[in-house]
Structure 1
């Protein structure tokens, strides 16, 4: 069999071209798929970084809206994050450029994390101080309430002590005697000349001991003072009295008696009820009454 060399060469060249075309097609397809996968990966990475940057900005906004801890350093970091996000959105699908950007992003992220931790620490300290302040205010309010309660209790006790320490008189008796017969009692107005008043100053350990001014006042049915000895003023009070006794009081019960002789202008006594009042200064200790016919 005779082989034509020229025809054989053509076949060989055509076969080589076919193989080359197939190899080029396979390489192109592989390269395309690889680039497509790389672009897809790059897009995913960009989305992840963009999401992280957006979260950082949201966190900065939350801090600036709800806290007074925003400083110049925080503002600078926020502006840097905004700038990084804008650059990322302008990037085209260049893997080498994105790699450099991601390196810068890692450094920015590291700085931001340190700043966020500092802010969280300051916020925690601020909250603790706020809680301490609230507890202090609550304690002070509780102490004020306790003090107010104690003051009220003390005031009540002081009133009770003051009331309990007051001088008191009991067993007040008034006896009317005849004219000219000093020892003979009478109930007739026309015969009356003298009124004897007796009473007991009660025992009281709370009363301040010492000299006590005791005033006896006798009022006739016309409301005039019998045996008027004058008047004494206590503040805005005016007391007209019939007799004054200066008693030394030592916290023990003591009997007091006095004779009050009518003046000429008091006679003759009017018929009716005579009121006998006993005072310590301007405070009334007790009273009794007698009726003359």
Structure 2
């Protein structure tokens, strides 16, 4: 009887323990599942935030690189080379890309890829232009060196030419001076004429029928040969030109009033030349007469005579 009561009491107890155990297990499993779901949700949120931060950082890095690249373009443009205009266009592209990136909010991976590609293209363009600038500078340097060398040669050649020209001018001047005729032995005498026609020198004014002016054309082997004309100017006491009293102009505002002309056929050797001024209707008076000898407008010598 006692054993039966114990068995009756044990069954309900066992059933209650079993129910409590199953409930506890369900509760634990439910809690674990909820915890795992919460962890998964937090992980997804962290992953999403990390992805956003990564794209933002990449966007910022691209923009920073573009700022640096623009500064590099600025420096290259300051070189003021033949490529400056092309560099300015490339810099404008960089500035436009910067504005686009600044205006982009949460760019996608595809957009960032495009930005990176454009950045790479701009960098490559700058590198190519810099290489071209270096090449141009090298060519310009070589050209300047060549020009300097040519300038040195030209300067030396000019100096030689100037020396030759100077020598030539000196030679021409020497030849011109050497070819000029020179006169000497300037003399003037008064002549009287005897009834027989013989002419004798005199110093008496009343006896003087003519004044004879003479000179020597010195020999010159390099002077031009042929007819040479000389002008004689006779002045009386009042400085009046006697004889023909004619005016001749030589150009360059040069002119001469002469008394008479004498000429000779010059052949390189010395020649005695003379001319006379006749009294005609104007007898010579007492006093001193001055005679000037001209080769064109250039006075070559003078002489004088005093008649009593």
TM-score category, normalised to shorter length: 0.5 to 0.7
Aligned residue pairs, count: 278
SS in 2 for 1:276: strand
Structure 1's 123 and 210: CA in aligned 2 closer, same or farther, altered over 3 A? farther
| Structure-2 residue corresponding to 1:208 | 224
Q: Does structure 2 retain, via aligned residues, the 8 Å contact 1:220–1:270?
A: no
Q: Is structure 2 residue 189 aligned with structure 1 residue 175?
A: yes
Larger Rg: 2
After TM superposition, give the deviation of residue 19 of structure 1 in Å: 4.2
Question: Which residues of 2 match residues 264-279 of structure 1 at below 5 A?
Answer: 264-272=280-288, 274-279=289-294
Q: Is structure 2 residue 298 aligned with structure 1 residue 283?
A: yes
TM-score by length of 1: 0.66
| Structure-2 residue corresponding to 1:198 | 214
Structure 1's 45 and 161: CA in aligned 2 closer, same or farther, altered over 3 A? farther
Of 188-197 and 111-120, deviating more is 111-120
Structure 1's 165 and 24: CA in aligned 2 closer, same or farther, altered over 3 A? farther
CA–CA separation in structure 2 for the residues paired with 1:268 and 1:88: 120
After TM superposition, give the deviation of residue 119 of structure 1 in Å: 8.9
TM-score by length of 2: 0.64
Q: Is structure 2 residue 231 aligned with structure 1 residue 218?
A: no
SS in 1 for 2:281: helix
| Gap runs ≥5 in structure 1 | none
Q: Does structure 2 retain, via aligned residues, the 8 Å contact 1:277–1:286?
A: yes
TM-align CA RMSD: 4.8
Q: Does structure 2 retain, via aligned residues, the 8 Å contact 1:214–1:279?
A: yes
Q: Is structure 2 residue 70 aligned with structure 1 residue 43?
A: no
| Structure-2 residue corresponding to 1:92 | 105
SS in 1 for 2:105: coil
| Structure-1 residue corresponding to 2:263 | 245
Q: Is structure 2 residue 256 aligned with structure 1 residue 256?
A: no
After TM superposition, give the deviation of residue 5 of structure 1 in Å: 3.0
SS in 1 for 2:199: coil
Q: Does structure 2 retain, via aligned residues, the 8 Å contact 1:46–1:88?
A: yes
| Structure-1 residue corresponding to 2:249 | 234
Q: Does structure 2 retain, via aligned residues, the 8 Å contact 1:194–1:259?
A: no
CA–CA separation in structure 2 for the residues paired with 1:289 and 1:47: 113
CA–CA separation in structure 1 for the residues paired with 2:46 and 2:141: 60
CA–CA separation in structure 2 for the residues paired with 1:170 and 1:13: 157
Structure 1's 203 and 23: CA in aligned 2 closer, same or farther, altered over 3 A? farther
| Structure-2 residue corresponding to 1:103 | 113
SS in 1 for 2:237: coil
